[in-house]
């Protein structure tokens, strides 16, 4: 009898969870459609993001109904979207501008560290917490490191996600308003152009089958490798192989691309923690100001990079932003920039930050740690960054 009751309760719980997930996805779809209809840049990302924040704020004690699979699939589709528009000419162009690129990365990374310094002095946070809350890296890895070295992991997570959300919201809006000649439906234009120039037409059913296969293989490969943001870069790699080896012009339909943005935006919004924000009101308010200043600084650096290299303004600015690769790549696709350049800039920045973690993080933290905690830092550095892959994209 008890077993039957338990099975019934489990079934009811599963049904309620599915119903909540369906309602959440419906609300996110409505919000995304509305913002897109109003011609808000990245409406299919920003609308679901707002829905996720509202849901998480109103139901702090209720388990989130969203499965990590939605975020993973969204990242995979975005990676394949980039692969279909990727050009080796972009990589070649970046190699010819290696010195300006490294200078750009050095300045924006230094600005992020300076952000941490002011956050520590003005926000009432200890230096390790402020530093880890400010450097552009893989957020789950920073949270893991925070727990190991005695920093406030909750503060690090909240401030990192807050800065990412601000950049995701502010930058596309600013680009749409201030950069001349931006066509807000450029993703559709790019697809139409590719279709017109393709020498080998592809049936939609075969096109969709290839995309599904690439998503499945990319997700599986991403789960098998220990690599930063593997849930994005593994499908990107699979998509590149498919585009280079198959005699077709593979395309990601707009409805699938928008769905990917919906999943990613909703996943970001659901990570927002209002209770933590209330506890860190002073630090949060200061971080909002510092993040906006950081956006301005990185935009100026990106514009100077554009002047030096003749890379288009949108690509240079989006490639300079210290936030997750996926959000800026989605913005690049939306505005018609060069996704290859943006991916290259963010990937190089990610490897520079990860490669310098032993020089950047450990010396700044060791003097405030006990010998036991210092051993933990050393162990972390030796073993490399680790964290839950479902959050890799929000670095």
CA-to-CA distance for 54 and 47, rounded, in angstroms? 11
Interval 29-67: pLDDT, tens: 999 999 888 887 778 888 888 898 888 878 765 656 678
Minimal CA–CA distance to 332: which of 349, 350, 317?
Answer: 317
Half-sphere exposure of 206 (CA within 13 A, CB side): 10
Split at pLDDT 50, 70, 90, the class of 197 is: very low
Residues 6+ apart with CB under 8 A from 237: 83, 218, 221
CA pair distance 339, 96, nearest whole angstrom: 17
- pLDDT of 295-325, one tens digit each? 999 999 999 998 988 888 888 888 888 776 7
Structure-derived torsion over alpha carbons of residues 322, 326, 330, 335, reported in degrees to the nearest 10: 30
For the beta carbon of residue 178, count every other beta carbon within 10 angstroms: 11
Could you give all domains of the chain from N- to C-terminal order, each with its CATH number? 14-394 (1.20.1530)
Q: Assess contact for 257 and 138: CB atoms under 8 A.
A: no
| pLDDT one-digit tens code per residue, 232-270 | 788 888 988 988 888 878 888 888 988 988 998 888 888
């Amino acid at each position: 009898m008890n077993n039957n009751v338990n099975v019934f309760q489990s079934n009811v719980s599963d049904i309620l969870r599915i119903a909540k997930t369906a309602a959440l996805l419906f609300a996110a779809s409505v919000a995304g459609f509305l913002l897109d209809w109003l011609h808000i840049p990245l409406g299919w990302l920003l609308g679901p993001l707002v829905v996720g924040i509202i849901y998480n704020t109103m139901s702090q004690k209720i388990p989130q109904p969203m499965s990590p699979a939605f975020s993973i699939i969204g990242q995979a589709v975005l990676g394949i979207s980039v692969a279909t528009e990727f050009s080796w000419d972009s990589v070649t162009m970046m190699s010819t501008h290696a010195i300006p690129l490294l200078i750009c990365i050095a300045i924006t990374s230094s600005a992020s560290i300076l952000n941490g310094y002011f956050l520590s002095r003005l926000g009432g946070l200890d230096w390790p917490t402020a530093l880890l809350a400010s450097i552009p890296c893989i957020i789950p890895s920073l949270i893991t490191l925070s727990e190991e070295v005695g920093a406030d992991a909750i503060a690090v997570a909240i401030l990192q996600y807050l800065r990412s959300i601000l950049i995701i919201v502010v930058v596309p809006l600013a680009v749409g308003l201030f950069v001349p000649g931006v066509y807000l439906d450029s993703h559709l234009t790019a697809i139409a152009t590719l279709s017109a120039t393709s020498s080998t037409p592809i049936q939609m059913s075969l096109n969709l089958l290839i995309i599904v296969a690439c998503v499945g293989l990319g997700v599986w490969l991403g789960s098998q490798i220990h690599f930063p943001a593997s849930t994005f870069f593994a499908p990107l790699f699979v998509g590149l192989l498919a585009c280079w080896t198959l005699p077709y012009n593979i395309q990601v339909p707009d409805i699938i691309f928008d769905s990917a943005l919906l999943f990613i935006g909703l996943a970001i919004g659901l990570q927002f923690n209002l209770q933590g924000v209330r506890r860190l009101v002073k630090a949060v308010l200061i971080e909002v100001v510092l993040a906006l200043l950081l956006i301005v600084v990185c935009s100026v650096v990106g514009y100077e990079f554009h002047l030096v290299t003749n890379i288009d303004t949108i690509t240079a600015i989006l490639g300079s932003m210290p936030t997750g690769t996926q959000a800026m790549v989605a913005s690049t696709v939306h505005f018609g920039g060069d996704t290859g350049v943006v991916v290259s800039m963010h990937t190089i920045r990610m490897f520079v930050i990860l490669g310098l973690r032993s020089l950047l993080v450990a010396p700044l933290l060791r003097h405030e740690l006990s010998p036991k905690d210092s051993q933990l830092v050393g162990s972390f550095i030796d073993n490399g960054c680790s964290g839950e892959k479902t959050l890799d994209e929000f670095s």
